Structure formats: C-alpha cells, structure tokens
Amino acid sequence: MAVAVVGTGNVGSTLGRAFARAGMEVRFGSRDPDAAAGAAGDSGARVVTVHAALDGADVVVIAVPGGRVAGFLREHAAALDGCLIVDAANRVGEAALNSSADTAELVPGARYARAFNSYGWEVFAQPEFDGEQADLLYTAEARDQAAVGQLIEAVGLRPVYLGPGQADVLDTVLRLMFALFPRYGRRTALRLLTD
C-alpha cells in the first residue's frame, strides 16, 4: 500500500513512521521538505513535496491542523480524485470537527474515512497499556474497512469499525477524550470489552 501522509507534526510523523516500519511505502508531504526531513526518522519513509507525495498514493492520511484541510482539498482536488482519504485532523472550535462535508464537496471522487483523530500522538507512539493494545474506533466505506484497519494495526492499535458515515460519532469520542485528558493525561485510550 502506498501511503501519503500530509503533515509532518507529531501526529503525522508518528503515524507515517509506524506505517513505514510495517512495510508500507510512505511519503510524507510537506510544504518544506528540507525543513521537515527529520519527520521520517530511520523508518525508510521519504519526505517530499505534497505534490510528489500524492502522486500514485493509494491512501492519503491528512494530519494537518483542521483549519487547513479545506484549503488542502481545494488545492489538490485533482490529485485526490479516486483516493482513499483518511481524515486525522480536527477542526477544533467548529460545529463539525471532521471534514467529511468538505471532502464530499471539494473532492467528490474521493472516498472518505475518519481515524486517528481521537487520541493524542502519544498513544500512537506507545499503543500498549500494561501489555494490552488500545482500541481505535474508525469509520470508512465498507470497501475501505480492511485498508484503514491495516493502517490502525500498523500503529499497534486494535481497529474497531463503526461502519460507514460515522464521522460525527468519532467527533463525540474526541469530545469525550478532551474531557478525560486533563485528569488522566494525553496518553489515554479506550478498550472495548464484549462477550
């Protein structure tokens, strides 16, 4: 799987390095590849321009500040057409934290999934708690369930599929995590228990 990770901050770099260590072809897209060269670490991923990262990507993980997602989608709509977009960004302070509506409007040929938005990067860096994997809830179209699940597993988390069209549910999970972080810290995650 060829993965473009757009964003080289804590979330993007932690995810991209994990994907690369799992054997995926990873290109980080950066506005300034020279300044962001350290994002790849020793993972084998490459840091290139955003245009170069998107070229031939099967999956595009968006890990930029939420307020920049619409502009990114608008600028790169042609390259994103037909791609699976995984929205890891949060538009904090807006009614909808996710960018599903923007994606549908600006890149109608893309497929939308939402994952990696409800935890801090610290959980992606250390996904086990006393030997137990944390769970990560996600939404995607049925045909993309396995691909997004594979990305989650590459990070070391256990994927929990909510079905398609559940981005608003994940926004609610994020709000829950925001309420928990002050008391328990940013390295806080959920585990689903069932019979």
Tell whether 191 is covered by a domain: no
Predicted local distance difference test score (pLDDT) of residue 85: 98
Three-class secondary structure of residue 146 per DSSP = helix
Tell me, yes or no, whether 190 lies in a domain: no
> pTM to 2 decimals?
0.96
103 located within any domain: yes
| Residue 15 belongs to a domain | yes
The answer to whether 36 and 8 have CB atoms below 8 angstroms apart is yes
The reply to whether 195 falls in a domain is no
In a domain, 194, yes or no: no
* pLDDT surpassing 90 at residue 37: no
pLDDT range class, residue 35, cuts 50, 70, 90? confident
Check which CATH number belongs to the domain holding 141 and give it: 3.40.50.720
Domain count across the chain: 1
Strands 128-129 and 132-133: antiparallel
Gap between the Cα atoms of 145 and 183, Å rounded: 33
* pLDDT tens digits, 151-172: 999 999 999 999 999 999 999 9
Residue 180's pLDDT band (cuts 50, 70, 90): very high
Range from 41-45, 85-89, 110-114 carrying the lowest mean pLDDT? 41-45
Distance CA 56, CA 42 (A): 23
For 39-104, the DSSP string reads GGTTSS-EEEEHHHHHTT-SEEEE-S-GGGHHHHHHHTHHHHTTPEEEE----TTSS--S-HHHHH
Would 147 be classed as within a structural domain? yes
Does residue 193 belong to any structural domain of this protein?
no
* Domain of residue 140, residue span: 2-184
Mean pLDDT, the chain, integer: 96
